[in-house]
Structure 1
Amino acid sequence: MNFFRHQEEARRNTGRLILLFSLAVIAVVLTVNLLFIAGIHFATYSSTEGSRAFEIYDGEHWAVVSFTTMAVILISSFFRQLSLSKGSDVADSLGATLLDPGSREADERRLLNVVEEMAIASGMPVPDVYVMEDSGINAFAAGYQPSDAVIGVTRGAISALTRDQLQGVIAHEFSHIFNGDMRMNMRLTGIIYGIVFIGEIGRMIVRGSHNRGFTTRRTDPRAAAFGFALMAIGYGGEFFGRMIKSAVSRQREFLADASAVQFTRNPDGISGALKVIGYGAGSRVGSPSALEVSHFFFGPVMRFRRAMFATHPPLDERIQKIQPGWDGHYLQPRMQHIEVRDFAYNDSDAISGFSAGQGEAPENVDSSDTAVAHADTGYEAIPYEARGEEFLRSEIAIINAMSAEALVFALLMSGSTEETAREQQNMIQQRHGSDTFREALRYLNEARRSDKEVRLELVERAMPALRRMSLRQYRTMNQTLVSMIQLDNKIDLFEWCLYRLILQYLGRHFGTLPAFRQKRKSAHALADDIAVVLAYVAHAGTKNYQAAVLAFEAGITSEQLLMRDCNPEHAPHKSLKPLNKALSALIASAPEVRERVMRAISVCVHHDGKITMEERDMIRTLGAILETPLGMFENPAELID
């Protein structure tokens, strides 16, 4: 499944949608003008002189009314999209509640672990998870980018689905993230809202036409008629808008189902979830706001009498696409509370689809639902003598914002000399207090015992807890990280990777990272910036200059880029400013350009037949910065193995 190709397809579909909706907006503008002309006609018509409508309603009136109508639609659409710009905004509008990342309730822990495993294995931050208290089986993904996405799941899905089925549903939602569907869904919602707003103005005019006094109630029939006409125009536009939205959504659902199968390598998971819905559980969502964002969901939020308004294909058709030999039988919901413990430190390779070629990692969870579960998720079962990363993974599952902050400090200090680490510890104690200081020391001992290759993974796992910080706490943490990194007057690669991940994931969340407007520049137009990035990658993998030059040339001349005559000497070892500047240019490029850059980076890294820890860290970090997480590639293992 080439997610970049499907992102480009989504972009083209968005272009077609904009064309269709532009025609709809033009139709609305023309109809509003005709409405004014009709009103003037009836107001000025006489049997002797006829109508003066076209005499009075000249070109200037056409321009003013057209501009005003267009402005109302576009401005209301813009503000609606802005109100949904964060995934959390969508979740809040649906009445969903944020799930505590430290929850010990067995079913909630299982959901959190599934989401965490898939996020880490796909190279994206662990998203916030929201719960809707609906008995129907449903889920949604929302957000503009992988870095600000959220996952929402109904209580019915949490309790009625097995682990494999739940994994299939979550994989379906992750594929919407990678396919670029979330951004398109936001735009669809915004444009339809803009058209409907014309009808809302009409409704307000109708209400205002009923003038109530202390003793009398008078109605202005002309104002009421005008208001009703605007309502008809607005809601008529909504009618056609919903048809377009539903047609697009149905196609994207088939794609997301296929992607979920590829992710998990288990068609029984997602098909099983669909069969449980068909058995009778349904996928209904009770929130009044659900209909507006119905195309965000895994299943239909309500039954549609007309197929043209259905945002999802028929259930049987979806199942047959996944399992062509399906016998037509549905599945009963699982019995509750019968799954074995979900340890917090499950290896991310549990999702075999994200680690193709590596073999299947042993599961800590018996998804057959035959073992009796314990409400306690078993953190105490991890001996202190266990490897450091296992202890830290178990801690992350029950961590709060302060402890997560301390963990980040500890991971940063784990690569420092003893002298530098002592100065960094003093800085933490002075700026963040004794509690954070003591917690950082506790984690530091474990971080130093951990495999260095998992340090960035631990940062990504801690993201849900880090998002619980206030903006002020985040700014203070950010300043402390910068000061800690600058203490020894040099920045090593791990320090840069850790800081850029924090900046990428939390900067977007707290609104401190500036948004980049996408520019449709070709790879050749960005050749110098691509060369800078590849040169840094080449030098990160080896201390041998000639080997770095060969790796650079392999990447820059690969079939992904086919560039010639680029200078490999782009990587001054004393400064990372050129790299940061080059990345700023690439961030704003089109998804297909960023894909080609990431594949060229992979060629560069694999040139010598091996991959170092530094190269792994760099691929993961660059994937995050360029919003191209590993899960978007057909075989992520090709990039990191």
Structure 2
Amino acid sequence: MSYLRTAMLLAGLTALFMGVGYLIGGSGGAMIALLIAAATNLLAYWNSDRMVLSTYGAQEVDQRTAPDLVNMVADLARRAKLPMPRVYLMDNPQPNAFATGRNPQNAAVAVTTGLMQSLSREELAGVIAHELAHIKHHDTLLMTITATIAGAISMVAQFGMFFGGNRNNNGPGIIGSIAMMILAPLGAMLVQMAISRTREYAADNLGARIVGQPMWLASALVKISNAAHAVPNMEAERNPATAHMFIINPLSGHGVDNLFSTHPSTENRIAALQQLAAEFGSVPSARPTARDSRAGGSSQSRGPWG
């Protein structure tokens, strides 16, 4: 992950913060917003991972409480030449997962109970390897910070809607309020635009190489994608700015949620994994599709992992 790109994104989000502050309180409001943005940036760098994990009620697990999961993460982390990340479990029926942390030395992998229950061991390994790839690519810093700051921007904008946009008695309060109603989703869109779709392809590719079998991940993506539309993730619906962190978009797609469609289509990701499998010489007899939740998975020949 480019530090320059991270700095540019934070600068853009800070400017948006100041714009909302200006609408609420003029130049004084902009200065206050700048101070809040600076504090939020600092807080996000050091604590955004804890904040996101707390948002989803993630509980840290260890070899005593979840030995199979922890041992799998440890094995794949060794293969990826990464430090052992912390492992978290989210009590959520929707199968999904994300990685977080400011660097590989302070990283965490979080999976839902739905993921543990619905995937085979091979599919779960593919998902874990994908998340480790995000850690290895240093994606998690930007992904987590942008989620935190975008959420803060939305809260400030909503605060302004309730408590004014009126700098004086003759000020355009209605216009300011309407502008803030627009700025909040625009801020969320900025977050999503900053999280390039190519990053998911790159994590799919490296994750497949870590685990040694691309079709394990392809099969997992099919199952997760199908379930994400059928099983709601209420925490994600309440915090849509975090949607880009998950391996599959956790939002239902209703209302304004379509603003957060940052992930490539599952079909395109499977196609890329199919091509990689061909390079590995392990092409399955039938490629899984987004309509086939049973495709791939443990029926594929085993790779070097496991």
Residue in 1 that maps onto 2:294: 332
Q: Deviations over 1:16-69 (max 9, x none)?
A: 424543553464455457xx5xxxxxxxxxxxxxxxxxxxxxxxxx4x444233
What residue identity is the alignment partner of 2:111? V
Residue in 2 that maps onto 1:139: 97
- Is structure 2 residue 5 aligned with structure 1 residue 13? yes
Residue in 2 that maps onto 1:236: 182
CA distance in 2, matches of 1:136, 1:194: 26
CA distance in 1, matches of 2:178, 2:240: 20
Q: Which structure 2 residues correspond to residues 144-223 of structure 1 after superposition, within 5 A?
A: 144-203=102-161, 205=163
* 8 Å Cα contact 1:279-1:331 kept in structure 2: yes
Residue in 2 that maps onto 1:267: 214
CA shift for structure 1 position 168: 0.7
Q: Which structure 2 residues correspond to residues 20-39 of structure 1 after superposition, within 5 A?
A: 20-21=12-13, 23-25=15-17, 27-28=19-20, 31-32=23-24
Q: Using a 3 Å threshold, how does the CA distance of structure 1 residues 278 and 142 change in structure 2: closer, same or farther?
A: closer
Highest RCO, 1 vs 2 (Cα 8 Å, sep ≥ 6): 2
What residue identity is the alignment partner of 2:76? M
Residue in 2 that maps onto 1:525: none
Residue in 1 that maps onto 2:269: 318
Q: Using a 3 Å threshold, how does the CA distance of structure 1 residues 65 and 246 change in structure 2: closer, same or farther?
A: closer
CA shift for structure 1 position 141: 0.9
* 8 Å Cα contact 1:160-1:333 kept in structure 2: no
Q: Using a 3 Å threshold, how does the CA distance of structure 1 residues 67 and 89 change in structure 2: closer, same or farther?
A: closer
Q: Deviations over 1:54-90 (max 9, x none)?
A: xxxxxxxx4x444233223333444455442xx4443
CA distance in 2, matches of 1:93, 1:149: 17
Q: 1:175 aligns to what SS in structure 2?
A: helix
Q: 1:262 aligns to what SS in structure 2?
A: helix
Q: Which one of the candidate residues 156, 168, 192 is aligned to 1:246?
A: 192
CA shift for structure 1 position 246: 1.6
CA distance in 2, matches of 1:230, 1:267: 50
CA distance in 1, matches of 2:108, 2:96: 14
Percent sequence identity is 22
Q: Which structure 2 residues correspond to residues 347-386 of structure 1 after superposition, within 5 A?
A: 360=304, 363=306
Q: Using a 3 Å threshold, how does the CA distance of structure 1 residues 290 and 202 change in structure 2: closer, same or farther?
A: closer
CA shift for structure 1 position 134: 1.7
CA distance in 1, matches of 2:293, 2:154: 40
Q: Using a 3 Å threshold, how does the CA distance of structure 1 residues 271 and 146 change in structure 2: closer, same or farther?
A: same
* 8 Å Cα contact 1:139-1:154 kept in structure 2: yes
* 8 Å Cα contact 2:222-2:293 kept in structure 1: yes
Residue in 2 that maps onto 1:124: 82
Aligned residues: 285
Residue in 2 that maps onto 1:295: 244
Q: 1:142 aligns to what SS in structure 2?
A: strand
* 8 Å Cα contact 1:144-1:183 kept in structure 2: yes
CA distance in 2, matches of 1:111, 1:81: 28
Residue in 2 that maps onto 1:304: 253
- Is structure 2 residue 223 aligned with structure 1 residue 276? yes
CA distance in 2, matches of 1:77, 1:164: 38
Q: 1:102 aligns to what SS in structure 2?
A: coil
Q: Using a 3 Å threshold, how does the CA distance of structure 1 residues 93 and 26 change in structure 2: closer, same or farther?
A: closer
Q: 1:293 aligns to what SS in structure 2?
A: helix
Q: Which moved more, 1:323-332 or 1:261-270?
A: 323-332
CA distance in 1, matches of 2:63, 2:239: 25
What residue identity is the alignment partner of 1:125? P
* 8 Å Cα contact 1:81-1:190 kept in structure 2: no
Q: Which one of the candidate residues 87, 93, 102 is aligned to 2:64?
A: 102
What residue identity is the alignment partner of 2:107? A
Residue in 1 that maps onto 2:278: none
CA distance in 2, matches of 1:316, 1:183: 27
* 8 Å Cα contact 1:161-1:334 kept in structure 2: no
CA distance in 2, matches of 1:155, 1:311: 24
Q: 2:271 aligns to what SS in structure 1?
A: helix
* 8 Å Cα contact 1:198-1:233 kept in structure 2: no
Q: Which one of the candidate residues 3, 15, 39 is aligned to 1:75?
A: 39
Q: Deviations over 1:281-311 (max 9, x none)?
A: 6574232655232222111111235654213
Q: Using a 3 Å threshold, how does the CA distance of structure 1 residues 90 and 190 change in structure 2: closer, same or farther?
A: closer
* 8 Å Cα contact 2:44-2:145 kept in structure 1: no
CA distance in 2, matches of 1:146, 1:254: 20
* 8 Å Cα contact 1:199-1:233 kept in structure 2: no
- Is structure 2 residue 18 aligned with structure 1 residue 92? no
CA distance in 1, matches of 2:130, 2:144: 18
- TM-score of the superposition, structure 2-length normalised? 0.77
* 8 Å Cα contact 2:80-2:132 kept in structure 1: no
* 8 Å Cα contact 1:72-1:194 kept in structure 2: no
- Unaligned segments of structure 1, at least 5 residues: 1-6, 37-61, 207-221, 339-350, 353-359, 364-641
